[in-house]
Amino acid sequence: MKRTLALISEHASPLAVVGGVDAGGQNIAVAELAQHLAGLGYKIDIFTRWEHPHLPQIVAWKSNIRVIHLKAGPIQCLPKEQLLPFMPEFTENLIRFARSESQPYGLIHAHFFMSALVAAEVKKKLHIPFTVTFHALGKVRRISQGDGDKFPAERFTIEERVIREADHLVALCPQDRDDLISFYDADPAKITIIGNGFNPQEFYPVGKMLARTLLKLEPDEFIILQLGRIVPRKGIDNVVQAVSCLKKKYGIKTRLLIVGGESELPDPASTPEIGRLQKLVELEDIADQVTFTGRRDRNLLRYYYSAADVFVTTPWYEPFGITPLEAMACGTPVVGARVGGIQHTVIDGQTGLLVPPKKPEALAEKIHLLIQHPRLTNALRARALRRIHREFTWLNVAQQTAEMYEKMGMPRPAQLGVEKSLLGSLSPTQLSRSA
Ligand code: UDP
C-alpha cells in the first residue's frame, strides 16, 4: 500500500524560525499537518527549497517525517516573490529524487501556487495525483495589495492551470472557496474546506497575572496584543490608530504590545514596517503606550496571549489566520477584521467580535465595549474555548485531510492496535496531545 505522502512547500519550511516577513502561518501549517498525519500512520516527505548550506539534503525530522531540501537557484534565503524562475530546477530535482526512492509516492499535497505548479509537472511525468492548499490566492492578493504585490502576473495563469489540473483543492474557509470559484472558475465538486488549526499542547490559558509577572508587564494596565508577521497587509497601523482613538475619544490609556519581526529586538532595518509604525506611533503621540517586542519563540507565545486583555487582528485580507485561534486557545477574547478566515473562526458576538478592516474608530469602539463589559468578555472567552477545541485542533485538521486523501484514492494507513484503543477513549484535547 502506498502510504507515503509528498508535501511540497517551496518557500515555507517546517524547520524555519517563524515570525519574520516570509515565515508565518504556512510554515506552521505544514509542520503541524505533517506531524499529525504522521500520528495517523502516514509516512511523509516534505519537499522545500534548499536555503541554508549548513543543512543536509535530507533531514530525518520526526518519526516518519523527512524534510528534503531541493536545490532551486542559489542556496540562500530569497524573498518568495523571486522564486518562480527556479521552479523548473526544483521540479527536476524532485522527480529525480522520487525516481530514486524504493517506494512510490501515493499522493502529493502542494502548498502555495509555486508548489502546485511543481506538482502539476510531476503529475505529467510520474502520474501522482495532487491536491493543493493555496494559502493565498494571487488575484485576491492583487486586489487587496495593488502595487505592493510583487509577484509576477504570470502567477494568475499558473493558478488557473493548476486549479484545472489538480485532482482536488483545499479551501481554508468558505471565503477561500467562494474566491476559488468566482475568480478562477474552480469546479465546486473538487473543493473541500479544511481550515488550519492550533496545538492544545502549545496554546492554553496560563493565567493573566502569572503571564504578566513572567514577561515583566504591568499588572493593572489594559493590554491589547497584536502578534504576527509585521507586514503592511496585516493592518497594524489600524490598531495603532485605534489605541490613539481610545485615548482621545474615550480618555482610556491602554498598552499595545506588538509582537513579531525578523529579529528578537524590534529592528526597523530588517523589518521596515516596524519603522513605518514607529513613525505613526510618534505622530499619534502614544509612544509611551506602545511596545514593540520583536519576534518571539513559540514556547513563549502562550504567555503573551494569556497576559493580554484582548487580542486584535485587522488585516486587509486573511486567507485563514492562525493567530486568532492561538489567542482563543489561551482564553483571550479576539476582535478581528471581518475578512477571509477570521469571519469563519470568530463568530461575531458569540466567540469574539468582528469589525470592518481599516476602520480604527470601529475597532476602538469594540475594545471599549470589552473594557466596559467584563461579563461579555468572559462569555466570549468561554464559548470560544469550547468551540475551537471542538473544531480547530490540528488533529481535527489532519483527520479531515486524511478523509480527503481517501476520497482521492489513497487508503488510510491502518492504525496500530494501541493507537486505536487510545483513539476511542480520549477527549479531543487529549487526542491532540497523543498524536
Ligand atoms: N508567530 C511566531 N512568532 C512571532 C510572530 C508570529 O511564532 O513572533 C507565529 C504565530 O504564532 C502564528 C504564525 O506566526 O502561528 C502566523 O500565522 P497566521 O496564519 O496568523 O499569519 P500568516 O503568517 O499566515 O500571515
Domains in the chain (CATH in brackets) are 4-197+393-434 (3.40.50.2000), 208-391 (3.40.50.2000)
Nearest ligand 1 atom to alpha carbon 28: 15
| Most informative mutation of 26, 227, 325 for ligand 1 (most atoms within 8 A of CB) | 227
Residue 347 grid coordinates: 463568530
Q: What's the pLDDT score for residue 2?
A: 60
Helix 236-250 × helix 272-283 angle, to 10°: 10
Atom 4 of ligand 1, residue of closest alpha carbon = 19
Q: Indicate the top mutation candidate among 322, 332, 394 to test ligand 1's pocket, ranked by most ligand atoms within 8 A of CB.
A: 322
- What does pTM read for this prediction? 0.93
Q: Which three cell numbers stand for residue 81?
A: 516573490
- Calculate the dihedral angle through the C-alpha atoms of 240, 245, 250, 253, rounding to the nearest 10 degrees: 30
Nearest atom within ligand 1 for CA of residue 323:
20
Tell me, in angstroms, the distance from the centre of ligand 1 to residue 298's CA: 9
**Residue 275: φ, ψ to 5°:** -60, -45
| 206-229 tens-digit pLDDT | 999 999 999 999 999 999 999 999
Report whether residue 320 contacts ligand 1, using a CB cutoff of 6 Å: yes
What is the ipTM, given to two decimal places?
Answer: 0.98
Dihedral (C-alpha) 351, 357, 363, 366: value to the nearest 10 degrees? Answer: -30
Query: What pLDDT, on a 0 to 100 scale, did the predictor assign at position 242?
Result: 98
Low-confidence spans in the chain with pLDDT less than 70:
1-2, 415-435
Strand partners, 319: none
If you take atom 2 of ligand 1, which residue's CA is the nearest one?
19
Q: What is the pLDDT of residue 426?
A: 37
Query: Is the distance from the beta carbon of residue 227 to the nearest atom of ligand 1 less than 6 Å?
Result: yes
Which residues have CB under 8 Å from 212's CB, separation 6+? 218, 219, 223, 307
Task: Give the strand pairing for 4-8 and 43-49.
Answer: parallel
Cα→Cα distances 164→5, 35, 108, 136, 160, Å: 22, 29, 16, 17, 6
**Ligand 1 atom 22, closest CA:** 25
Distance 290 CA to ligand 1 centre (A): 20
25 CA distance to ligand 1 centroid (A)? 5
**Per-residue confidence (pLDDT) for residue 236, from 0 to 100:** 98
28 lines ligand 1 (CB under 6 A): yes
CA 197 to ligand 1 center in whole angstroms = 12
User: Residue holding cell 474552480?
Assistant: 186
Position 149 scores a pLDDT of 86
Alpha carbon of 368 to those of 41, 64, 316, 338, 387: distances in Å? Answer: 48, 49, 22, 18, 25
Whole-number pLDDT of residue 423 = 42
Buried (b) or exposed (e) across 91-116, using 16+ Cβ within 10 A?
A: bbbbbebbeeeeeebbbbbbbbbbbb
Q: How far is the CA of 262 from the centre of ligand 1 (A)?
A: 12
| Ligand 1 atom 11 nearest Cα | 323
Is the CB of 31 inside a 6 Å radius of any atom of ligand 1?
no
- The whole-angstrom separation of Cα 363 and Cα 241 is 9
DSSP string, 73-107: SSSS---GGG-GGGHHHHHHHHHHHHHHSSS--SE
Instruction: Compute, in angstroms, the gap from residue 296 CA to the centroid of ligand 1.
Output: 10
Nearest CA to ligand 1 atom 24: 25
